[in-house]
A = this chain, B = another copy of it.
Amino acid sequence: MGQSSSSARIAEELRREIAGLAAGSRLPSTRALVERFAASPVTVQHAVRALVREGLVESRPGAGTFVRRARPASRADLSWQTAALGAARAQGAVVGSTLQTPSDDVIALHSGYPVDDLLPVRAVQNALARAARTRSALDRPPASGLAELRSWFAEELAEATPATGSAPTAADVVVMPGGQSALSSVFRSLARPGDAIVMESPGYWGAIAAARQAGLEVVPVPRRPSPAPSTGHGWAAVDPVDLAETFERTRARLFYAMPHFANPTGTSWTEADATALLEVVRAHGAFLIEDDWAHDFALDAPVRPVATRDVDGHVVSVRSLTKSVSPAVRIAAVVARGAARSRILTDRVVDGLYVSGVLQTAALEVVSSPAWHPHLRRMREQLRTRRDALAGLVDELLPPGTLTSVPRGGLNLWLRLPDGVESTTYVEACARAGVLISPGPEWFPAEDPESHVRLNYSGPAPGRFEEAVRIMARELAGLQRLRER
């Protein structure tokens, strides 16, 4: 056997060995290899040099030869995964545009999260730092959440519950790591894959995505158009007759809704809507999943959650603190009764065992401090100013009828674009011109029969609202001119 075939054999054997060695492992010395393979030093060195050329090992003069750090070479053939995984469950892009983090020079009206100036940042920092120093906060809390925090959530609902109602207690609450987790848990717990879930349309994109991920079929019920004073046409609650028909047609047992300051339309149910829709839910042996997302953003009048009308466990209520306390404090709660509550708790345990005690302790400190309500008042005052400014500019600078309504709470304006202006095209034109807004289709479980965009007025640059709306007006005019040609 000649030197080169012999060195090839040695190299091959070493290659196999190297495959089993960690990076940095030392190869046997040339002398040891010479002995082991009964080959000449030249043959051995020839083999080792081949491995060096291949990048498998490196020689460090005086120290020896070492297995090299793996190259992050991800050119592997992963196509087998296509067969293993099959079609994806949630079709299309599930990550809403509201989650983008933009660069500083654009004007961001797309986000779903209030900017720091509106949040109790110092109180949150102090509460987190104090919680970190509290030994008990480092321990594993009960699966359903800290008792005091559950009491606080229950109390918030109980305070608004009339004497004829049935006020929740801490035993009805499950603490969740944020509102989105809460929705996912509730959908998984109260329905099975293939079941239908009824939703207001338009409605929250995160709920649509969570329901689809849980394998549910999202069945939209349209909001009714409602003539809004002066500014065009707005949106009202869904029609109880539509809801009843949908329950009967689909055999759905779940109705997900945002009864107050709905995202994106800003619509609130009237007292009559709440009574009628809850009656339909009860008559069909179904659950209303009330997403009370904007409880802390009630700008003109306080919220009375529909859950306060519930006497026999038909309402499952979700309330999150993430948007009003801090993005770092991902804490929400589900309030539910009976078997529904115990299924939701089971899902929570299986999905994540428990929620960090530090986050729960900090959240409780922030919301139960005497500074919390004064903070909420100041924040609402700022939000009112922002809303009125942005709504006024839209009303003044964009075509009549664009502003569908001035919502009494929440964080968003919902705009209807003139006929023939496609939402995504318009959003892209605005983004190129430095203004980020959200395309309407994300909020529709099916097609948007018209064309909408959402503006969030809690973003970073209220001083640039006018600049933003002027750009939006210019881009809109541009698209309309293009269309008329």
Contact = CB atoms under 8 A, between A and B. Distances in A.
B140 A101 contact: yes
Interface in A25-80: 25, 55-57, 67-74, 76-78, 80
A97 interface: no
Interface string A273-309: 0000000000001110000000000000000100011
A398 to B, nearest CB: 29
Contact of A351 (B78, B88, B181, B346): B181
Nearest to A75: B166
Interface string A156-189: 0011111111111100100001101100100010
Interface stretch (A326-334, A429-437, A446-454, A473-481): A326-334
Nearest to A346: B94
A339 B82 contact: yes
A389 to B, nearest CB: 25
A340 interface: yes
Interface string A125-167: 1101101110101111011000000000000001111111111
A337 interface: yes
A371 interface: no
A94 B340 contact: no
Given A158-B69, A210-B350, A337-B78, A356 B359 contact: yes
A25 to B, nearest CB: 8
Nearest to A95: B349
> How many copies of this chain?
2
A206 B95 contact: no
Contacts of A18: 162-164
Q: How large is the interface on A (under 10, 10 to 19, 20 to 34, 35 or more residues)?
A: 35 or more
Nearest to A353: B180
A112 to B, nearest CB: 9
Contacts of A113: 140
Interface string A196-209: 00000000001001
Nearest to A282: B80
Given A349-B95, A352-B181, A359-B359, A313 B163 contact: no
Given A78-B337, A101-B142, 8 more contacts: A70-B158, A72-B158, A80-B312, A125-B132, A129-B129, A184-B350, A192-B193, A209-B349
11 contacts: A70-B163, A72-B168, A88-B346, A121-B135, A129-B129, A129-B133, A181-B352, A210-B350, A213-B351, A328-B358, A359-B359
